[in-house]
Structure 1
């Protein structure tokens, strides 16, 4: 073999040696990309299957036993208009097979796709309002009387909003959500203690003041506590503050990676009319949006304590003014937090759930 041929062979061998590290790197990157795609597909498929189960009736959730009035079925969301979701928290203690679900807490999550702003409205459950087909009743009776469709119609009429969706869960569903996201780092503003022997002390409340990591059980205690001067008024404020903190954590990168596990853990305790495609679209929109404000409805200066028969109710002074108040609140707040109207026309500031002092 001539020296020229040997030189060419050596040169080719050297080129191959130089290419091999790049080849290994390329193969490694391809394997990594494939693993990421498989993981993403696994997460997406698992999440989709779990979401698909949310609108299926469940034996352990009494809300599924209603005969729905299809004439009250809400309008479908077109993806561009404001979307409103009625969040119903149920207290199923003592509810027997075949009984109707009760809504212990009611909140409306309102999201504007155009402005990417989210508002959270707490509806006072004792508000005395018209319920179609049943006359004037407490707002929280609508769910038990006619199911989710009637509840959405009733609260929508009260607030002047089209409510397209509902999500119902009970105590155990709420606890599962908090535990699934690893708890919530939150500031408890006061010592809270309450003993309830009626349920075998399963849901007693015993929280200490201060910044702390709340697990599911502790978070449930926090949002249920109402044994202070303003009772249900401060409880609804606590619920909004904690839910805002939950929303922030759900938008984090860690939570997004765990979405399959999170969704699967809460699915047995959730009932909703949301389709998986709607949920994924709303999740995408929610990640792009920010909390613009939260408020109590009706505000304090529009209600009065009255008695109807043996019931203590909250009478609304002017239904039209309430709807005007809601419309203005949803369009006027640009960022940060909103303030609730106080009983004297002043305000009750909404805190962020973070410690503001010793």
Structure 2
């Protein structure tokens, strides 16, 4: 019987994949920034529950209002088991690039797919980012690129695919697109930040809608400009400077949101972001996560698959990234989680076959 490994290797010995940073990384920073900011909002809400509970509850869409209502299997998705705040929780974050969508009532391919794995006891979080061109088995749909699962079967199929691939039980999902990030920044009145250099990038594929054109200097960035800032990676040391830029941006967002004026307006901010975010996290779950938020430490980030388990292949004339051993991939995930378990809080470890450039924060 043909194994999954054999199907991923149509002829001969696979050619080792190059370790250059994949194109999909360009869009990961804004998604991670949005996650951290949503977590920060939940933390603030934990102290202002009465005024903001209903607004937070609005992030969990009614099935009829969801862009995933076309998928029958999503309607049948069981409610996640009640989280008591002590068990490890795994959240799948998907960043859709909505460019080229025919309607707003459909999901976009998930150009960014990340699992945030949180241990509430140690207050440590690990981030796993999946390369979008990874060739995987999509349950009930055959084989395909990982980012196709969401358009074939919605969030439930994406969660199932990621659970089987990584060996982690995925309890929750969060889905957003570029507009969600932009809306958040605009809702809090923009962000003052020192842009360290002129930043320019042009992409005709989207009719220049998401071009990057920022001038050096201290300035207030609106949502569109902030998206440009966190997406820019055209530096000599792109991933290192992008990580530094991300932390700088998040610090500025945290400072802006923790002032008294924004806390008083928090429900308005959440409602402005709500149309662009879909999740099965309930308000109670978000508040529990929020109570962890201020003390949560980044224990490590890792690329999936790691470079040592990647092989370049051609399938149907298209280039894809094949996994050479899926059992070893699941073992690798557990190694990442356990090797940092006893590390001091705040000690960050970036793992991707010892390649810092291949780990995205």
TM-score normalised to structure 2 length = 0.71
Q: Which of residues 271, 279, 282 in structure 2 aligns to 1:275? A: 282
Contact 1:120–1:240, Cα closer than 8 Å, also in 2:
no
User: What is the Cα deviation at residue 194 of structure 1?
Assistant: 2.6
Contact 1:107–1:123, Cα closer than 8 Å, also in 2:
yes
SS at match of 1:86: strand
Change (3 A) 1:199 1:191: same
Contact 1:129–1:138, Cα closer than 8 Å, also in 2:
yes
Q: Which residue of 2 aligns with 1:32?
A: none
Q: Which of residues 342, 348, 356 in structure 1 aligns to 2:357? A: 348
Q: Which of residues 273, 282, 285 in structure 2 aligns to 1:266? A: 273
Is the radius of gyration larger for structure 1 or structure 2?
Answer: 1
User: What is the Cα deviation at residue 310 of structure 1?
Assistant: 2.6
Instruction: Output the CA distance in 1 between the equivalents of 2:316 and 2:352.
Output: 28
Q: Which of residues 67, 79, 93 in structure 1 aligns to 2:99? A: 93
Change (3 A) 1:303 1:350: closer
Instruction: Output the CA distance in 2 between the equivalents of 1:187 and 1:326.
Output: 37
User: What is the Cα deviation at residue 164 of structure 1?
Assistant: 0.7
Superposed, 1:52-91 pairs within 5 Å as 52-57=57-62, 62-69=67-74, 73=78, 75-79=80-84, 80-91=86-97
Change (3 A) 1:248 1:46: same
Change (3 A) 1:196 1:62: farther
Change (3 A) 1:136 1:285: same
Q: Which of residues 132, 142, 162 in structure 1 aligns to 2:139? A: 132
Change (3 A) 1:47 1:272: same
Q: Which of residues 212, 224, 228 in structure 2 aligns to 1:221? A: 228
Change (3 A) 1:42 1:324: closer
TM-score normalised to structure 1 length = 0.72
Which range moved further: 240-249 or 281-290? 240-249
Q: Which of residues 334, 337, 340 in structure 1 aligns to 2:348? A: 337
Contact 1:90–1:168, Cα closer than 8 Å, also in 2:
yes
Contact 1:87–1:167, Cα closer than 8 Å, also in 2:
yes
Instruction: Output the CA distance in 1 between the equivalents of 2:99 and 2:170.
Output: 27
Which range moved further: 123-132 or 332-341? 332-341
Q: Which residue of 2 aligns with 1:284?
A: 291
Asked which structure has the greater RCO (Cα within 8 Å, sep 6+), the reply is: 2
Instruction: Output the CA distance in 2 between the equivalents of 1:59 and 1:228.
Output: 44
Q: Which residue of 2 aligns with 1:9?
A: none
Instruction: Output the CA distance in 2 between the equivalents of 1:112 and 1:168.
Output: 22
Aligned-residue RMSD, C-alpha: 3.8
User: What is the Cα deviation at residue 148 of structure 1?
Assistant: 0.6
Change (3 A) 1:346 1:290: closer
Gaps of 5+ in 1: 1-39, 353-358
User: What is the Cα deviation at residue 268 of structure 1?
Assistant: 1.4
Q: Which of residues 291, 300, 307 in structure 1 aligns to 2:307? A: 300
